[in-house]
Structure 1
Amino acid sequence: MELSWVQCFLLGLVFTYVRAATRNIDMGYYCTHPGNRVDISDSDTGELFLDPYHASEDCSVTLVAAVGKRIFLQFTDISIRGISGHRDCTDELFVKGGSYGGGIRPDSSWERVCGISHPDFDAHNRHVTLKFKSYLHGYGHIRIRYTVYHSAHYDGCDGYTCLGRDMCIDDSLMCDGVDHCGDNSDEEHYSVGGCGVLHHRQWLKKIGIIAGCVGGVLLLIVVTYICYRRKRSPATTTSDVPMATVAQTTNRGPPQGTGGGSYSPPPSYDEVVKSSPPGNAVV
């Protein structure tokens, strides 16, 4: 029974303190290795980084979310300049929603990112491709946060709907100290009551989980006790044919023959002697 209590307690901790699934991606790996598709279907958020990047980098990465999901990018910390002292960007980072191979050259349909800041980018797609190229004197760093979401308008939302965007994010991303919506509504305006509302509901959820664990263990104890008692009880045998009572046996009389005739008792000694022929003595 002690093992059941321990297992239930650990299971309760897992569900109570669940956090968002994250995956961080080193973009520099894809500068030297073939293949550029990264499956992020099992994550809710993460960071794509190239810190620092060096001269003559040439990288292409495509993030792939689960079917029905979309990807939202925030350029949290970037420094893309190029040659020291130049205000214009000689190094280049391009972003576009969709999946594109490494050999495709970005055109005007791609969004160009440079400098030390850039507006958020909503891919509206389960794929988003980033292409980066630095030149001989390139230097700098790139840190981009991605958030996986789905459309609250078309698919409904069982998590949190951002106030300024049609984004439904996982409720584990709310009030975690990170702005995933782009307008900080998931940190400040949850249910128009701030994060205090969420914290209150999280405590209620924890209490419910603990109560469920305790109830489950008590039920297990009761079932085990009942099974134990039934196993210890003596077995009783029953017969389909009732036993005859003593009185019924006494009053039943001599058994009847199978042929249906009456029963005749054997002759007495005197009858045998009288019926014997003369000369034959009966011993």
Structure 2
Amino acid sequence: MSLDHMQNLCKTNFLQRLYRKIDGAELNSQNERNLNCVITFQTHSILQRFMLRFDMMNLDCNDHLFIYDGAHAVGNHKADLSCRNTKQTVGAIFTRTNFVTLKYVTDGWGTESNGFSMVITAVKDPTHTCKDFTCSSQKFCIATDLVCDGINHCADGSDEAISTKCSHTERTLILGMSMTLFVVLVVSGILVVCACVGGVSVCVCRKQAATPPHHPPPSYNTNLPMQQMQGNGTGAGTTIVSKLSGNWHHPAGQMLGYSAARVRLYCQAK
């Protein structure tokens, strides 16, 4: 089912002169000005014909919508709709052929409330075999694609009734989205989050690898060993301090852990 606006359909190009084959369509018009266009629709099968009905109709008195039962806007029109018509007075319009031609003429004045909303449906009479969907009241056969699409194509609403099929369609909607679209969005979100986490982890690892290791300052053992040797009785006792590695040019003192008496003995020995 296609949704078209008259402003787009009435653009002057070669597509305007082509027959548009449809199963169903919804045409909307809202305050189009200075239009004079002709549009022709055709069914897919010669066994079908068109049913037209309006969900909204509020035409300006100088605007006219002509409906022709055929492939051309010639001869007698089937309907001439204007401000005197409403959707209730018009009801449903059926063609006898598998073509319908619309001629829409508007002037240069109007309001935002002027326009119409028309539903066009290709139907097959109940005398023919139906392999698609059968409407309840008049037993018309319509395409399966038109069932449960939110548009009343049967005129009695049976194609949009709360049935097993339509209920299943509604249950598959999550947050207004189809199940497939919802799953795609969820998976995409998970992949994006994983990519972000992986990128942050790589950056942290590289930063840690680039930072030089921190070595603590060397510690010195203040418990330095000392050896004392007694003299042979002929002289004063001599104290020998074993030589340790380190900088001996620094002043000796209690900062190295020696007492003042030991420092004086060491100096006398020197």
Output the TM-score relative to the length of structure 2: 0.51
Structure-1 separation of matches of 2:139 and 2:20? 21
Instruction: After TM superposition, list the pairs within 5 Å mapping 1:261-276 onto structure 2.
Output: none
Instruction: After TM superposition, list the pairs within 5 Å mapping 1:72-111 onto structure 2.
Output: 72-81=51-60, 89-101=61-73, 104=74, 107=76, 109-111=77-79
Instruction: After TM superposition, list the pairs within 5 Å mapping 1:232-247 onto structure 2.
Output: none
Q: Does 1:67 align with 2:39?
A: no
Q: Does 1:114 align with 2:86?
A: no
1:169 CA displacement = 1.0
Structure-2 separation of matches of 1:174 and 1:148? 13
Instruction: After TM superposition, list the pairs within 5 Å mapping 1:1-283 onto structure 2.
Output: 22-35=1-14, 36-41=16-21, 43-54=22-33, 56-68=34-46, 69-81=48-60, 89-101=61-73, 104=74, 107=76, 109-115=77-83, 116-117=86-87, 118-139=90-111, 140-153=114-127, 155-188=128-161, 195-196=163-164, 199=167
For the Cα contact (< 8 Å) 1:27–1:59, is it kept in 2? no
Cα gap change, 1:166 to 1:38, in 2 (>3 Å): farther
1:67 is aligned with what amino acid?
Answer: S
For the Cα contact (< 8 Å) 1:71–1:146, is it kept in 2? yes
1:197 CA displacement = 6.5
Gaps of 5+ in 1: 1-21, 82-88, 189-193, 204-283
For the Cα contact (< 8 Å) 1:30–1:60, is it kept in 2? no
Cα gap change, 1:157 to 1:141, in 2 (>3 Å): same
For the Cα contact (< 8 Å) 1:27–1:61, is it kept in 2? no
Structure-2 separation of matches of 1:34 and 1:172? 29
Cα gap change, 1:57 to 1:197, in 2 (>3 Å): closer
Q: CA RMSD in A?
A: 3.0
- Secondary structure, counterpart of 2:28 in structure 1: strand
For the Cα contact (< 8 Å) 1:48–1:145, is it kept in 2? yes
- Secondary structure, counterpart of 2:107 in structure 1: coil
Question: What is the match of residue 214 of structure 1?
Answer: none
The structure number with the bigger radius of gyration is: 2
Structure-2 separation of matches of 1:202 and 1:152? 29
Gaps of 5+ in 2: 172-270
Output the TM-score relative to the length of structure 1: 0.49
Structure-1 separation of matches of 2:157 and 2:11? 36
Structure-1 separation of matches of 2:11 and 2:147? 36
1:201 CA displacement = 11
Write out the 4+ residue segments of structure 1 that deviate beyond 6 Å after TM superposition: 200-203
Question: What is the match of residue 266 of structure 2?
Answer: none
Structure-2 separation of matches of 1:76 and 1:170? 20
Q: Deviations over 1:93-120 (max 9, x none)?
A: 111221114xx4x64x421222342312
1:171 CA displacement = 2.8
1:26 CA displacement = 3.2
- Secondary structure, counterpart of 1:90 in structure 2: coil
Q: Report which structure shows greater RCO (CA 8 Å, sep ≥6).
A: 1
1:166 CA displacement = 4.5
Percent sequence identity is 23
For the Cα contact (< 8 Å) 1:40–1:66, is it kept in 2? no
Count, aligned residues: 163
1:123 is aligned with what amino acid?
Answer: T
Q: Deviations over 1:181-213 (max 9, x none)?
A: 11112233xxxxx5136657999xxxxxxxxxx
1:177 CA displacement = 3.3
